Amino acid sequence: MGFDMIKKSKIEENYVLVDNVIKTFKTNNKKKIILSNVNFQISKGEFTCILGPSGCGKSTLLDLLAGFTKPDEGLISVSDEVVRKPGPERGFVFQKNSLIPWQTLEQNVGYGLKLQKFNSKDIEEKVTKYLKLVGLEKYRKAYPNQLSGGMQQRGSIIRALITNPKIILMDEPFGAVDAQTRSLLQEMLLKIWREFETTVVFVTHDVDEAILLADRVIIMGVNPGHIREIIPINIPRPRSLDSSFLEEFQKVKIKILNLIKEETLKLMQ
């Protein structure tokens, strides 16, 4: 009883709570620990990036936050609710090709609202508003395979945003687009984040991207996956590509690169 009370107050105190999470996968009847004792909290409106070498379990952690998989032990909650299954209250932006191929762009963007039984006029209005936000209103009738990778990701972002979620979870959303498009998308994302004051958890392997976007960067370690360090980024906002010339940016970048290098070397031993 007392234990539950402590849990409850913890959930109420923190907007996003990841509390003593352990995640294992079974391969050939052997349990492999993917994440061990992961703990962190995120406050409302914060932009958090998760960085780490491949295989550190950062995507697994994001899947847990989304509710696609369940932790073996521990607790995850977002905005006073324990995460049990995926849902529109936690928007998810996938790495690539996640627009539904048989739906046009506007059907894709409005799909979440349609599932919530909004009437078609409201859907139409909202979809138009969000398409304009990312400059895609001309392409509303296009199918995903007629759109470039960057356009698809923009569509994917507003599709997650339109249901007014408590948090947006992004799994390397710009990893598959070219460098020029990527920096445009990053600035667009920052603009949207400022405007909507959403909470974002963003998984990436690009250090520059993490520093440019985040309030805090969570560095993950390997063998098994754990949190190595949480680094606050104190670069003034609004940030742009120019921010990467600041001394603070370079300092923090070197610090992060060294941490990741250490972890990557551990993988090779």
Least gap, CB of 142 to another protein (angstroms): 7
Contacts 24+ apart (CB under 8 A), 28-34: 32/224, 33/224, 33/225, 34/60, 34/224, 34/225
Least gap, CB of 171 to another protein (angstroms): 10
Beta bridge partners of 170: 93, 202
Closer CB to another protein, 77 or 98, in the complex:
98
Residues lying near another protein in the complex (CB under 8 A): 66, 68, 85-88, 90-92, 94, 97-98, 100-103, 111-112, 115-116, 135, 138-139, 142-146, 159-160, 163
Closer CB to another protein, 115 or 241, in the complex:
115
How far, rounded to the nearest angstrom, does the alpha carbon of residue 31 sit from its chain's CA centroid? 27
Closer CB to another protein, 37 or 103, in the complex:
103
Closer CB to another protein, 53 or 71, in the complex:
71
Least gap, CB of 258 to another protein (angstroms): 35
| 94, 97, 99, 105: CA torsion to nearest 10 | 130
Closer CB to another protein, 34 or 136, in the complex:
136
Least gap, CB of 190 to another protein (angstroms): 16
Least gap, CB of 230 to another protein (angstroms): 26
Closer CB to another protein, 145 or 269, in the complex:
145
Q: Which two tokens stand for residue 98?
A: 């996640």
Closer CB to another protein, 34 or 131, in the complex:
131
CA distance 174 to 16: 24
In what side-by-side order are the strands of the sheet with 47-51? 90-93, 167-171, 200-203, 47-51, 216-221, 226-232
Strands 30-42 and 226-232: unpaired
Least gap, CB of 184 to another protein (angstroms): 10
Q: How far is CA 160 from CA 23, 97, 135, 202, 207, in A?
A: 26, 14, 16, 13, 24
Least gap, CB of 3 to another protein (angstroms): 31
